[in-house]
Structure 1
């Protein structure tokens, strides 16, 4: 039955408590209902691993060739701009997350700060935004898998990129079904290995770029195409910074959320921004922007070979596999939690928030995440997948900053965050303006697809959930 047929109030009735959600959901032997919550099993290391592991994939291993082709060596500035915007949003998000440490992230914050309609549009759009992002990561994984086989002397056609990506997507979905701790354990190990590879690569690359080792390269114009493409590339590569917000989507599973959520979100943004800028600087200085552009999605493999020979190429291929693997794995986890949150709030049918008793994971939400991800992965359209994901996330980021302003203005009794944004209200205002402004520099097709998804989600709200009232929302 659609929500329009009956008025539904969800949330607590106890005045002064933090808003929660307790919709009535059909029960069976594999379902936990009503006030069920996911178990808190993630610590600070797990939160950082989700943030860093999600962000570090595409930014370092897939985008350098594409970004250098559009902006030249100034692509490093594009990544720096993305990092600054991400930081301006990570700080307000940290405050919201410590006030409302619930699964769902941006959806939960916006629905409680701005109301059910904006929350529903953002929550459903976050579902699709994460689906687009995950499909992008999986396609990148497919490219690096083909390159890994080539480094081992096994030549295969690029036609196997998509089948490999699809198999990986199915595997990660099953892994997340078996428990958050399993997914987090994989994430921690992958990120530790990945950071070790990058530290060695960047250390040697910096020596090469300043001329202490290797062959000198001809100097290039820093911004050969002007500075407008720098902003366009910043909009494209912003997909690389989605990881910090994905930490918020698993806030309901974080231990000591008041301490660990801000540290995980802000820390992952700072660490990854430094790595991005350093990598692009090394790549363009030692290899040249034009050569990077010719190499495309796997340009960093050529950079590794140029710096350290076959061993360097293999290290980058292995790192690329780890990076795209960690991004995809963390994104599938976060996608399912976004679906779980809107289902628990009755924006979607109640069965979407069922929790499997055996593994303690939202198995239906994982299925609703994995299916669309595999469909989009099959398209193989790297740039448009990345930009649509960025579009939908930037809308959410801007509205999260607005939600913080609204909550600070009204200060409901339950709003008692353990972390408060320094520089309020300047930081959230700048975060909102920067997020919305970056959208203007995106490709028109990406903007239209993103707007189409938002219109579709608003239509769903009016058809199914317009009578839902979230107690505790402003």
Structure 2
């Protein structure tokens, strides 16, 4: 096959996303999963110690965000981790990671949309429009139906311009941060006994310390947002400045929010109780501390947060697909850019279509862990790619940001990323391996022999 072009035959994307937009793509994605979907699942496994699980995830994410920020300022192109790895480690690892990244983001998008359906159904139940026993009635069910409709609408919104996605993210994330600041302050003061009797738990890890690492593997989906910023790098203005600020800043901000939220949630309810609450456990937490008014606000916030997460993930998955197609590793149609709106409309349509099909499965934990599996492979290889590129010193490599603590930081980040995969449930590991093998098979069938140009 012929050598591919880095610019892609379908056209270039418009740079329309500023620092605030980049931050909200990362922060909005991570808040949706970590705070509005995972507290019941995580605290149900580990109790208050689930806060440590999120802290472990934050450390690993930061150890990857630093090398990724250096690579992103040297290669501010669509595809993010795929682009870095393909230029650092070669076409086969790049193709496997690129396909895995696209699939992982679609799995994550579906996971967020199922959470969105849960919140929409909970709002209807709270308003007595439906009762909880009828939520799943019908050939599809109310929960996935809401997710499917939202997925279609978000895809259409993205097709009509990236600035639409940025505007939605900025508004939603600003509102969410204000709500969370108030909610966590009030519930935290109550928990500590400042406003009454202390509710601190007698046992920090009622189920032992074993579940901490398995829970960290489950909830790592919460930290996928910073990598999504790199995936849309070609849409970001002033990438030398805005990419590292957005990637590192979003991890630190949401990491603090996660730890506080999970400690409060795990301290308020017993693991068996909060685990049974499922994806909307944060609603019951609001009911406990703020009453009905708090429930209404958190239900609205949860709906917006899951919209935000799904919105950013669909956008990022389409850009990963666009990057693969630009390099001729996928059919060139995915790299076509709509002349009027400056967006890869065919890539977005494909991503949105597959995502809504996945929503119908409703398997939230499996969707989340498979997304984490595929991203952890990419994160580990990003760290390896930085070391390889630094040792090779290609003429085009001139990053505006350099990873502090090199080479220790990328080495630890890579080892930690690969190690966390070992703590996932066997089904997620199996599905993840199958998807990686399918990506290898696609490369051997379609893309073997393609030689990628260097970045510049």
> Counterparts of 1:309 and 1:215 in 2: how far apart (Å)?
17
User: What displacement does 1:367 show?
Assistant: 1.2
Equivalent of residue 162 in structure 2, options 180, 186, 202: 180
Is the Cα contact below 8 Å between 1:217 and 1:287 reproduced in 2? no
> Counterparts of 1:184 and 1:219 in 2: how far apart (Å)?
41
Give 5+ residue unaligned stretches, structure 1: 1-6, 12-19, 26-32
Task: Look up the SS of the partner of 2:424 in the other structure.
Answer: coil
User: What displacement does 1:150 show?
Assistant: 2.1
> Counterparts of 1:429 and 1:216 in 2: how far apart (Å)?
43
| Superposed counterparts of 1:370-385, under 5 Å | 370-385=352-367
> Counterparts of 2:319 and 2:407 in 1: how far apart (Å)?
30
Question: Is 1:70 paired with 2:45?
Answer: yes
**Other-structure match for 1:16:** none
Task: Look up the SS of the partner of 2:3 in the other structure.
Answer: strand
**Other-structure match for 2:329:** 347
Equivalent of residue 229 in structure 2, options 234, 244, 247: 247
Is the Cα contact below 8 Å between 1:143 and 1:158 reproduced in 2? no
CA-based RMSD of the aligned residues comes to 1.3
User: What displacement does 1:215 show?
Assistant: 5.2
Equivalent of residue 56 in structure 2, options 43, 56, 81: 81
User: What displacement does 1:284 show?
Assistant: 2.2
Is the Cα contact below 8 Å between 2:47 and 2:267 reproduced in 1? no
User: What displacement does 1:454 show?
Assistant: 0.6
User: What displacement does 1:228 show?
Assistant: 2.2
Is the Cα contact below 8 Å between 1:304 and 1:312 reproduced in 2? yes
Equivalent of residue 240 in structure 2, options 251, 258, 263: 258
User: What displacement does 1:214 show?
Assistant: 4.8
> Counterparts of 2:183 and 2:161 in 1: how far apart (Å)?
33
| Superposed counterparts of 1:259-278, under 5 Å | 259-278=241-260
TM-score (norm 2): 0.96
Question: Is 1:135 paired with 2:110?
Answer: yes
User: What displacement does 1:409 show?
Assistant: 0.4
Question: Is 1:223 paired with 2:205?
Answer: yes
Task: Look up the SS of the partner of 1:275 in the other structure.
Answer: helix
Task: Look up the SS of the partner of 1:94 in the other structure.
Answer: helix
Equivalent of residue 99 in structure 2, options 104, 124, 130: 124
User: What displacement does 1:21 show?
Assistant: 3.7
After superposition, what is the alpha-carbon deviation per residue over 1:384-432, rounded to whole angstroms, capped at 9, x for unaligned? 0000000000000000000000000001000000000000000000110
> Counterparts of 1:385 and 1:336 in 2: how far apart (Å)?
18
> Counterparts of 2:206 and 2:284 in 1: how far apart (Å)?
22
User: What displacement does 1:221 show?
Assistant: 1.7
> Counterparts of 2:186 and 2:265 in 1: how far apart (Å)?
11
Larger CA deviation: 133-142 vs 289-298: 289-298
User: What displacement does 1:288 show?
Assistant: 4.0
| Superposed counterparts of 1:390-469, under 5 Å | 390-469=372-451
Is the Cα contact below 8 Å between 1:133 and 1:385 reproduced in 2? yes
Is the Cα contact below 8 Å between 2:190 and 2:196 reproduced in 1? yes
| Superposed counterparts of 1:9-408, under 5 Å | 9-11=3-5, 20-22=6-8, 25=9, 33=10, 36-156=11-131, 157-159=134-136, 160-214=142-196, 216-217=198-199, 219-408=201-390
Task: Look up the SS of the partner of 2:33 in the other structure.
Answer: helix
> Counterparts of 1:312 and 1:146 in 2: how far apart (Å)?
17
Task: Look up the SS of the partner of 2:451 in the other structure.
Answer: strand
Is the Cα contact below 8 Å between 1:208 and 1:286 reproduced in 2? no
Is the Cα contact below 8 Å between 1:98 and 1:417 reproduced in 2? yes
Is the Cα contact below 8 Å between 2:28 and 2:305 reproduced in 1? yes
Task: Look up the SS of the partner of 2:237 in the other structure.
Answer: coil
User: What displacement does 1:216 show?
Assistant: 4.5
Task: Look up the SS of the partner of 2:205 in the other structure.
Answer: coil
> Counterparts of 2:416 and 2:200 in 1: how far apart (Å)?
35
Larger CA deviation: 298-307 vs 280-289: 280-289
Task: Look up the SS of the partner of 2:13 in the other structure.
Answer: coil
Task: Look up the SS of the partner of 2:246 in the other structure.
Answer: helix
TM-score (norm 1): 0.93
> Counterparts of 1:395 and 1:284 in 2: how far apart (Å)?
30
User: What displacement does 1:359 show?
Assistant: 1.1
Give 5+ residue unaligned stretches, structure 2: 137-141
Q: How many aligned residue pairs are there?
A: 449
User: What displacement does 1:48 show?
Assistant: 0.2
Is the Cα contact below 8 Å between 2:81 and 2:378 reproduced in 1? yes
User: What displacement does 1:69 show?
Assistant: 1.3
Is the Cα contact below 8 Å between 2:51 and 2:262 reproduced in 1? yes
After superposition, what is the alpha-carbon deviation per residue over 1:47-90, rounded to whole angstroms, capped at 9, x for unaligned? 00000000111110111111111111110000000000000000
**Is the alpha carbon distance of 1:77 and 1:218 closer, same or farther for their aligned partners in structure 2, counting shifts above 3 Å?**
closer
> Counterparts of 2:431 and 2:265 in 1: how far apart (Å)?
32
Is the Cα contact below 8 Å between 1:44 and 1:264 reproduced in 2? yes
